Amino acid sequence: MKAATRLALCVVLALAAAPASADPARLALGKRVFTELAEPGCGVCHALADAGTTGAVGPALDTLKPDAGRVATAVTNGIGVMPAFEDLTPEQVAAVALYVATVTGAQR
């Protein structure tokens, strides 16, 4: 099993075990990953109202409403023209996945 696939599986399992109400600190980290820590920044390609981004290369996340597992898999493995973000830690991947899923309404 590739390391990226194992990482994605670990992140998805961690998200599944997370409580229903998102921890504000994890959401703050997720927003920071989305807006600052990921290289290139997520908002370069993705529009997300909560983050104030208007990227138009990738899907508009407010419309797509991806769940946390889908975000974690895309960030870990890449999808289409989106690269894998190999420099992010599992904690950062889980946080950005939870953040996107929460602010788009996919996870409550």
Cβ-based neighbours of 99, under 8 Å, separated by 6 or more: 22, 26, 27, 29, 30, 31, 33, 34
* Best CA proximity match to 69, nearest among 6, 31, 14, 21: 14
Length of the chain: 108
What is the model's pLDDT at position 12? Answer: 53
pTM: 0.82
Residues 6+ apart with CB under 8 A from 77: 4, 5, 8, 84
Structural domains in the chain? 24-104 (1.10.760.10)
* 25-63 confidence digits (pLDDT tens): 999 999 999 999 999 999 999 999 999 999 999 999 999
Taking the C-alpha atoms of residue 95 and residue 28, their distance in angstroms, rounded to an integer, is: 8
